[in-house]
Structures are given as structure tokens and as C-alpha cells.
Chain A
Amino acid sequence: MNSGIPIQYFLILATIMFFAGVYGFLTRRNLITILMSVELILNSVNINFLAFNRYLYPHKLEGMFFSLFIIAVAASEAAVAIAIIINIYRRFTTINVEDVNELKF
């Protein structure tokens, strides 16, 4: 089903979302907001996959399944990341990324 909207629009939208995520990743100091930026980036990728699938290869389902798996990976990543963040908070009593700059411990 093509709704008459060109594929480029979806891609541009995804690009803006992606770079908004990149900007957040680069500027936010709180680890949780960084995690949110990462979720934004993953979502923009999902949009790309689905747009390509729908517009260019409608007879296949690769894009859709990849999105599905990416959502699953994002869910696990969020779970582990939040566990790590909580652990860091417990140890350093901060989740400011600039203060957590020691690779050991």
C-alpha cells in the first residue's frame, strides 16, 4: 500500500530523528538521558527499515523482522543499561557521565 508519500520523506524524518539522538548522546550528561538518545537512534533506524521494506521490496519481510529484532535488542539493552546505571549510582552516587571516567572499578 503506497499512500502517495514519497519514500524520501520517511528517510528525511528518520535522519532528523537520528541526528537529534546523536546530539542528545553528545550533549546530555545524565546517563539515563543518554540512554533515551540511544532509543531515539534505534527508532529512527526502525523507521528506515520499514520504509525501505514497504517501498522497495514489498514482497519480502526482512525489514519488518529486523525491526522486530531491533526492538527486542533495544529492550534487553535498556534493561542491562539501567541495571548498570543503578549500580554506578550506588557506587559513585552520581550518574553524570563526565564523572564516571575511570575504566577500572
Chain B
Amino acid sequence: MASIMFILFSAMIIVFSILTVTSRKILRAAVYLLFVLVSTSGLYFMLNYQFLAAVQLTLYAGGIVVLIIFSILLTSHISQKFESSGWKKNIFSAIAAMTGAILSIITILDYTFSATTEAAKEVNMRLIGKSLLSVDYDGYVLPFEVISVLLLAAMVAAIVVAKKGAPKTIGLPKLNQE
């Protein structure tokens, strides 16, 4: 059962990842990305990280992908097709990516992983909440706070950057209008 699920999820992830990066229609690419993210959250469920899977679904699938789709709608026509980039670029990038992938896979297969023998910890919401706010060993309050500040900063930055620009933007050189 578990292996079937895994094969299904991994097949979806591989196929849709490749489709995401090769699709000529941008909106489709976004939807393929959504499929990849959802499949990934399935993998998280398989690994017994339910909380993280839920976060993945809500944040990625629900938040980021929607954001991306909005921005696509703002900047492109839905039916717009990309002109294919130069074959030279594609070939070289593919070679680089393939080489890297093969290299990594060979390395992974060569390596012997050794697990600890200690008992596994039950991951439940209570533990996660306590760990996030704990200052003890195993506590994550510092990264938690850092991340919260980062989120605030990102929010402010996003507003400032995307805000309608000052009049000085007028008259700047327009590059390659298409």
C-alpha cells in the first residue's frame, strides 16, 4: 500500500515538475506546480508529518500558487505562449542539470546511511507548539522569532516595492518593448 502510494506520488512529482519547467503556457505551468506541491504534501503525510503536510497545502498550494497566478494575470495574457528559448541554451542547461542529477544519484546510491537506534518521537501538535516556544534544548524560539520578523519585513517590503511608483519613474528608458 505504502509503496503504491509512494510510486504514485513520486511519479506525479517527477512528471509535473518536468512539465512545470517545460510547459509553454504560463498558466498551465502554474497549475502543474500546484500538482507538484500537492503531491509533495502527500509525501509528507506518508512520512507521518501531518502538521507540515497541512502547512504545505495551505501555504504553498493555497497561498503562494494563488499569488503566482495573480501575478501572472497581472503581467501576462493567459493564453500567451512563450517563444521557446534558444535550443543552445536548452541543451546546455539540460546537460548541466542531467550531469548534476546523475552525479547526485550516484553519490546517494554509493553512500550507506546509518540510522540511530533511539526510539522515534511521536510528532503531535502539542509537541510542535511547545518546541516552537521553548527556550530549552530542543527549543526553537529564536528561529521562530527571527522568522516572524522576516515575515513582517517581507510584508512591508512587498508593499513598498509594489506600491505605485513615484513620478520619477516616468521617462526612464523603456527596454525592448514587445
Query: Which residues of A come within 8 Å of B, CB atoms?
Result: 1, 3-5, 7-13, 15-24, 26-30, 32-33, 35-37, 39-40, 43, 46-47, 50-51, 54-61, 64-65, 67-69, 71-80, 82-87, 89-96, 99-100, 102, 105
The listed residue (B118, B140, B155) touching A79 by CB distance below 8 A is: B155
Closest chain B residue to A42, Cβ basis: B60
A80 touches B157 (CB 8 A): yes
Looking at the assembled complex, report how far the CB atom of B81 sits from the nearest CB atom of chain A, in whole angstroms. Answer: 11
**Interface residue? B79 (CB, 8 A):** no
| Contacting residues, chain A, for B98 (C-beta < 8 A) | 19
A26 touches B116 (CB 8 A): no
Closest chain B residue to A40, Cβ basis: B17
- Output the residue of B40, B121, B178 with the most chain A CB within 10 A: B40
Supply 16 further A-B pairs (C-beta < 8 A) apart from A47-B40, A80-B158: A4-B2, A4-B3, A19-B101, A22-B100, A27-B21, A28-B21, A39-B64, A43-B60, A51-B47, A61-B128, A61-B138, A71-B55, A83-B157, A96-B178, A102-B175, A105-B172
**Overall SS of chain A's interface:** helix
Query: In B110-154, which residues have CB < 8 Å from any A CB?
Result: 113-116, 118-121, 123, 127-128, 131-132, 138, 140, 143, 147, 150-151, 153-154
Looking at the assembled complex, report how far the CB atom of B153 sits from the nearest CB atom of chain A, in whole angstroms. Answer: 8
| Contacting residues, chain B, for A75 (C-beta < 8 A) | 59, 63-64, 151, 154
Which 4 A/B pairs are nearest by Cβ-Cβ distance?
A24-B21, A76-B154, A58-B120, A26-B93
The listed residue (B17, B68, B90, B150) touching A32 by CB distance below 8 A is: B68
Subset of 15 A-B contacts with CB under 8 Å? A4-B3, A5-B6, A15-B104, A17-B36, A19-B98, A20-B20, A20-B97, A29-B83, A32-B71, A40-B33, A50-B49, A68-B55, A71-B60, A83-B161, A100-B175
| Contacting residues, chain A, for B162 (C-beta < 8 A) | 82-84, 86-87
| Contacting residues, chain B, for A19 (C-beta < 8 A) | 97-98, 100-101, 104
A94 touches B147 (CB 8 A): no
Cα A99 to Cα B18 with chains together (Å): 25
